[in-house]
Structure 1
Amino acid sequence: MSSIFSKIVAGEIPSHKIAETDQYLAFLDVFPCAVGHTLVIPKKEIDYIFDLDDELYTGLMQFAKQIEPAIRKAIPCKRIGIAVVGLEVPHAHVHLIPMNSMSDMNFNNKLKISQEELAEIAAKIRSFL
C-alpha cells in the first residue's frame, strides 16, 4: 500500500510544495512543530532512511541543503533544525524545522495552521529559492 507521501508525489493528495526535482520533493508539514516546518522526501518509496542507497541518501541531503536557506530567509529564526524520526510515515523523510529554541522541535506539540496560511508560507519560502 502506498504511503501518504507517495500519494502526495502522485498528486492524489494535495500539498503545499516548496520544491521538486525528478527524484525529490519538499513540502510543508500540515501538522507542523513550527511555522515553515518542511518535509523533504525521495519520491521513491523506501521506508527507512538508512535503506536508501548511497546516491539517493546523499541526493536527499543535498536537496534538503538547497531548501534550507529559503526557509531561513522566509521564516525568522535562529537556525533550521533537521530531524529524521521515521516512525509516523513509512517513507523516508527529513524534517527541516525553523527554530528559536529547542522546544520548537517538540513533535508532540503541533500547530494548527489553516490551508490558506500554509499556502502563503509555501509561497514565501518558494520566493527565496
Structure 2
Amino acid sequence: MSKQSDCLFCKIARKEINAYEIYRDKAMVAFLDIAPIRPGHVQIIPLEHYAYFDDLPTDLAASMMQLGQRIAKVQKQICYVDRVALLFTGGDIPHAHAHLVPMHEKTDITSRRYIAEENITFCSTPRASGEELSAMAERLAQALGQKGVFLPNQV
C-alpha cells in the first residue's frame, strides 16, 4: 500500500505532523492520543497506508499485536492499572490503527450505542496538555528502551 497525501496518520508517519511518539521502527509507530480516554492512551499505526484492520498484511497485524502487548505491560506499571484494552475501531480515520487504553474503570471503552436512556449529552474527551503528553511519552518510551523519540515542541 502507499501513503496517502491527505491522511492524518500518514502525515504523522512521515513526521509532517507532530506526535508524542513512544516507539518507532521500520514498519510502525506508536504515539499518545492527544484526546485520551485515559492518561497513557496510545495509538499504533503502520507507516504504510492501509485503510482498515482487515486490509493489513497478516505479518504486520501480528507485529502490531506484539507491540501492543509490549506497550500494555509498560502501561500497567506506569498507569497503575491491572488491564489495558486493545481496540481496532475503524472509526474516525481510515488508516488502520490500534488503541491501547489503560483501564481504570470497566466502562472506559463502552460505546455510546449501548446506553438506553434518552436525553443524555455526551462530550468529547478533553485534549491533554503538552506537558502531560510529553511526560507520559518520555516515561513510556524510556520503559520501551526507545532513544531519540520525537517529541514536538508544541501541539
Give the structure-2-normalised TM-score: 0.77
The partner residue of 2:134 within 107, 119, 126 is 119
Equivalent residue, structure 2, for 1:87: 91
Do the aligned partners of 2:75 and 2:81 also contact (CA within 8 Å) in 1?
no
| Matched residue count | 129
Equivalent residue, structure 2, for 1:103: 107
Gaps of 5+ in 2: 112-122, 145-155
Structure in which a larger fraction of residues adopt helix: 1
Structure 1 counterpart of 2:106, which letter? M
Equivalent residue, structure 2, for 1:47: 51
> Which structure is larger by alpha-carbon Rg, 1 or 2?
2
Q: Which moved more, 1:96-105 or 1:20-29?
A: 96-105
Gaps of 5+ in 1: none
Q: Which runs of 4+ in 1 moved over 3 A?
A: 106-109
Post-superposition offset of 1:2: 3.1
- Give the secondary-structure state (helix, strand or coil) at the position aligned to 2:107: helix
TM-superposition CA deviations, 1:39-97 (whole Å, max 9, x none): 01111110110111111111111121222212221111121111111111110000000
1:34 matches 2:38 = yes
Equivalent residue, structure 2, for 1:18: 22
| Pairwise CA RMSD | 1.5
Alpha-carbon distance in 2 for matches of 1:56, 1:126: 21
Alpha-carbon distance in 2 for matches of 1:31, 1:113: 6
Do the aligned partners of 2:32 and 2:133 also contact (CA within 8 Å) in 1?
yes
Structure 2 counterpart of 1:110, which letter? T
Structure in which a larger fraction of residues adopt strand: 1
